[in-house]
Amino acid sequence: MFPTVNAEQLASGLKGRDFLGMADYKPEEIRYLIDLAIDLKRKQKNGELYQPLKGKTLGMIFEKSSTRTRISFEVGMYQLGGHALFLSRNDIQMGRGEPIRDTGMVMSRYLDGMIIRTFGHRNVVELARSSTVPVINALSDQSHPCQALADYQTVLEKKGRLEGLKIAYIGDGNNVAHSLMVGASKLGMHFASASPEGYEPDAEQVRLAREFASETGAKIDVLRDPREAIENADVVYTDVWASMGFEEEQKERERAFQSYQVNEALVQYAKPDYLFMHCLPAHRGEEVSEGVIDGPHSVIFDEAENRLHAQKAIMAAIM
C-alpha cells in the first residue's frame, strides 16, 4: 500500500512541519513515525543515548489539565536532550486576552518548537499559522493525533501489522475517535464506530476519512449498533462518555450511553484475540467494565507508555 520512499527522503520531508492532525500526513509518513517511535523505544529500553534535540527548547501551552500528555512530553524532550517549558493559561498573557497570533509570533523567537493542549481546534491552527517553529497538537476538541499515533504503534507491536485489521470504537464520537478514524483510513484499516444518536463522529471528519479510505482500501463505518460495530474486531476501543468541557452533561450522557458500555457480553462479538484500548483516564463501571479494562486483553498501560515514544518520534522528526 505504501509507496517506495526511503527513510532519508521521509525524514527530510518532515523537518520543520507542524503536527496538527493525521489528515495532514501521508500514509508512508505516518508509518515512518510509528516505526521511528518503536526504534526510539528500543533505544530507551536498551539505555542507548539518543539526543538529536540537544540544546533545543519546547514550549508547552496547556489550557486543559493533563497527566499523560504533560509528563510524556516533558520526559520525552529531556530524553532527546532538550528542555521543556510548561506554560499554563495563567502563566502567559493568552489568559488575559493576548491574541494567539501575537503569542505565536513572540514565542517563535524564543523556542524551537511548541505544543498546545486546548479546547478549540482553531487555536491550534492559528498558533501554527503565526509561528515560525513547528507546532504539535497535543489535543483539541477536534482531534488528538498524538494519542492516535501511540495507539497504532501499540497495535503494530501487538499484532505485527496494521493494514487489514479492524478497530471498533464504541462511545462518544469525539476528538480521539476522529484521529483514530482518519488514521485508520490512512493505514488501510477497517474502522467501525457505534454511538447513540447525536453523538456520532463529526460529519466532515467522516467525509475526510472516507476520501482517504478510497485511496488505501480502508473501510469506514459509522453505525448505531455496538454489536454490529464490534463484530470480528481485532481492536476494541472506548473513551469516557463526557470528555473535558462536557462534565455538566454527565448525567444526560450516562442515560444516552447506557447500552454502549464495553463489557464482557459485548466483547464476545470481537475476535478471540482482540486488544482492548482506552486513552485514559477511565471510569470503570461506566464506559467499560472492570473485567474488560483489567482483563487479559487490555493493553491500556502499554498504550499509555507509548505516548512517550510516539511523541518523541514526532519531536525528533519535525524539530
Which CATH number belongs to the domain containing residue 23 in this structure? Answer: 3.40.50.1370
Indicate the number of domains in the chain. Answer: 2
Per-residue model confidence (pLDDT) at position 255: 95
CA–CA separation, 117 and 115 (whole Å): 7
Per-residue model confidence (pLDDT) at position 6: 82
| Containing structural domain, residue 22 | 7-143+306-318
Which residue numbers are catalytic? Answer: 117, 144, 147, 239, 279, 307
Query: Does residue 195 share a domain with residue 113?
Result: no
- The span from the first CA to the last CA of the chain, in angstroms, equals 28
Query: Does residue 299 share a domain with residue 151?
Result: yes
Query: Does residue 223 share a domain with residue 211?
Result: yes
Give the Å distances, CA to CA, from 66 to 61, 70, 101, 134, 230: 11, 6, 24, 21, 30
Per-residue model confidence (pLDDT) at position 65: 86
Q: Are 133 and 114 in contact (CB under 8 A)?
A: yes
Tell me the average confidence (pLDDT) per consecutive run of 10 residues in the chain, 319 residues long: 73 96 98 98 97 98 94 98 94 81 96 97 97 98 98 98 98 98 98 98 98 98 98 98 81 95 98 98 98 98 98 98
Q: Are 176 and 18 in contact (CB under 8 A)?
A: no
Is the pTM higher than 0.75? The answer reads yes
Q: Is residue 284, in this structure, part of any structural domain at all?
A: yes
Per-residue model confidence (pLDDT) at position 1: 57
